[in-house]
Structure 1
């Protein structure tokens, strides 16, 4: 399906936040079509700030730490600009804050997001899994400890392995640099409890569905909560290898999980772009819902390459120029996060979980790359530099921690 814009200079796009991979895919989506792109983030070293697709580069307050200042910044930018913008938030914090202040910001921006009530149910994992239980949607068995003592009692009673994951992802990841704690024995549980003891972080305890059959689908719902486009793909590899973001994905149409995802989003009155993640349980063959994210995915250029460019479709719909029709996305196209997948393969090769020929086998055929672009090379170099700096900081932290431990002895 080829979608063309009647006039490309009437509405620009303000892309806000998100990781390097996600943001680069979205700014290039619009910039390559000649649409004015403003990129806004609290990180002055964000690779998307260096993209040729971006014409306005802005560093804003952190929405997690300065919500009011963040909203004021966005409003002031729009009011002082001669261009009308659609706003596209890419990070969980940006989605939450912009949805919360949607009524205020709609005076300055076109916004395609669900209500704040819907966002709260998706962002807070306690509320999310309780909602799934009420809807009768199959998902991993989940427990909701109210405090540390209850976490310990639940952790002792259920079978290993399982995970302890945050109710709110961002503060947990900022503090611990991981998505969850993997609990394989009592010592792992006590270690997690000690890390959480002096925090106010809410957590849930969740069973681990065995196997590696993970399926994701991305979709766009219009303001009447009708699905306009959808694309599904297999998550072949991820980084970190056990609980990470997809680093190698391949488009594949699976009717059962796609229909389930669309029915759930329809039932909650969803609007905007979402991606839904399932894992197929080998014990009963059922798809268990892992999460719903109210934003674009890292793999956003994969649906686009398959014929369902969700971000552009959402833009055309927002400005009243979408004239396309439903299309069956192409299958068998591979999306690669070049750096993330290399790291995933190296870890698994080291652990003996992956052979070289198995690492290379999925790379055959048609491909789309997450970062690299001949027409926009600088962000790749910035991204690599940022990752190298982060790795050096991590090694330094571990070295100093080890040294302090030895001296204490």
Structure 2
């Protein structure tokens, strides 16, 4: 098959590199851009990479940059985004960008709702979807009222995670008791609105995801479910070791919600299964490609490739059946997770090695594109060493 449309990928984290690997190995020309920091760590030899203006602080410059990039190409490129900042930017300027790029997103209001954890919680309540017990705090009185109803430990989370992580590189803050909450809340509140949630019990294997690709008319083109085995950091982290698994009850839970939200394009819901009542509790919804999406290709439902085929008029047949038991491994994070869990007996050397059995795909490790893996590994190990030094 000949591919005349190039692809433009905004993001050079592991998420974006996964998109690059998928498309480039199919023979598609890929151009990849990110801001200076991620670019230096994620530059890939399988794409033509460069630094681009920041979507948060240089909107006009980024818009001009993308228009000029498209005008320099012979055919309209397919536009991919691997991070929330780029999704918001593309959605905000969709009218201007649609003349130069091919992409598919839900309504802008839907995207903003899903990036707002407060609004996502309200949507979950509206659609009768179980969630963790959640508190929204506007002042000190409401903080005291929440403390009276909370069970500790609990977690403190930003309402807008993609903006909060520009200042604090944490998905959530573990709160041991009421005194700690009162002490740290004002400091973290300076970086954005916060919510307080109960901690749903259960280990990393209680986390599940359902991912979908709906076309413009909400026809389901691709479906995928997975289970998390390990994450890094262990308490509140992102995927380190994931397995593809067909979970019919998760599909029954997730599909109606995604349809009700009219989430066309790529969508993903993360749940945690609560061992107290056996119910799947909603964690978050993302209107974009997610970190472990490259697992879908190895499992027979290639989301990044399907997205390209559909937008370039190749009309792929729906792919709703996946191969079970394929593992996705972010090697350095998996290793650091093992070191962390081994301290309290939660993981043995045998457990770690058993994680490599069977069919697998690596997040970054690639003989035809070694530098993203090398740079990411060195960066993770350096950060882990610094953290250990501070705790000594």
Whether the TM-score (by the shorter chain) exceeds 0.5 is yes
Structure 1 residues 348 and 187 mapped into 2: Cα distance closer, same or farther (>3 Å)?
farther
Q: Which residue of 1 aligns with 2:17?
A: 24
Q: Which residue of 2 aligns with 1:285?
A: 278
Pair 1:209 & 2:200 matched: yes
Unaligned runs of 5+ in 1: 1-5, 403-409
**1:10-49 mapped onto 2 (5 Å cutoff):** 10-17=4-11, 19=13, 21-43=14-36, 46=39
Contact 2:211 2:267 in 1 (8 A): yes
Deviation, structure 1 residue 152? 4.4
**1:168-187 mapped onto 2 (5 Å cutoff):** 168-187=160-179
Unaligned runs of 5+ in 2: none
Structure 1 residues 340 and 49 mapped into 2: Cα distance closer, same or farther (>3 Å)?
closer
Deviation, structure 1 residue 378? 2.4
Higher deviation after alignment, 216-225 or 117-126: 216-225
Higher deviation after alignment, 313-322 or 173-182: 173-182
The correspondence for 1:326, drawn from 301, 304, 319, is: 319
Higher deviation after alignment, 332-341 or 347-356: 347-356
Deviation, structure 1 residue 242? 1.1
Structure 1 residues 236 and 200 mapped into 2: Cα distance closer, same or farther (>3 Å)?
closer
1:293-322 residue CA offsets vs partner (Å, 9 max, x unmatched): 111121112111010001110111111102
Q: Which residue of 2 aligns with 1:317?
A: 310
Structure 1 residues 48 and 222 mapped into 2: Cα distance closer, same or farther (>3 Å)?
farther
Q: Which residue of 2 aligns with 1:3?
A: none
Higher deviation after alignment, 361-370 or 351-360: 351-360
- Give the Cα–Cα distance (whole angstroms) in 2 for the partners of residues 94 and 122 of structure 1: 14
Q: CA RMSD in A?
A: 2.1
Q: Which residue of 2 aligns with 1:406?
A: none
Q: How many pairs were matched up?
A: 390
1:49-74 residue CA offsets vs partner (Å, 9 max, x unmatched): 532210x2221111122223222322
Structure 1 residues 49 and 347 mapped into 2: Cα distance closer, same or farther (>3 Å)?
closer
Q: Which residue of 2 aligns with 1:240?
A: 233
- Give the Cα–Cα distance (whole angstroms) in 2 for the partners of residues 391 and 373 of structure 1: 23
- Give the Cα–Cα distance (whole angstroms) in 1 for the partners of residues 273 and 38 of structure 2: 38
The correspondence for 2:130, drawn from 138, 147, 150, is: 138
- Give the Cα–Cα distance (whole angstroms) in 2 for the partners of residues 296 and 240 of structure 1: 21
**1:50-69 mapped onto 2 (5 Å cutoff):** 50-54=43-47, 56-69=48-61
Poorly superposed stretches of 4+, deviation over 4 Å: 388-396
Contact 1:12 1:86 in 2 (8 A): yes
**1:149-164 mapped onto 2 (5 Å cutoff):** 149-164=141-156
**1:4-403 mapped onto 2 (5 Å cutoff):** 6-8=1-3, 10-17=4-11, 19=13, 21-43=14-36, 46=39, 50-54=43-47, 56-196=48-188, 199-212=190-203, 213-391=206-384, 398=390
- Give the Cα–Cα distance (whole angstroms) in 1 for the partners of residues 132 and 12 of structure 2: 27
- Give the Cα–Cα distance (whole angstroms) in 2 for the partners of residues 339 and 248 of structure 1: 10
- Give the Cα–Cα distance (whole angstroms) in 1 for the partners of residues 37 and 134 of structure 2: 38
> What TM-score do the two structures reach when normalised by structure 1?
0.90
Structure 1 residues 255 and 352 mapped into 2: Cα distance closer, same or farther (>3 Å)?
same
Deviation, structure 1 residue 239? 0.4
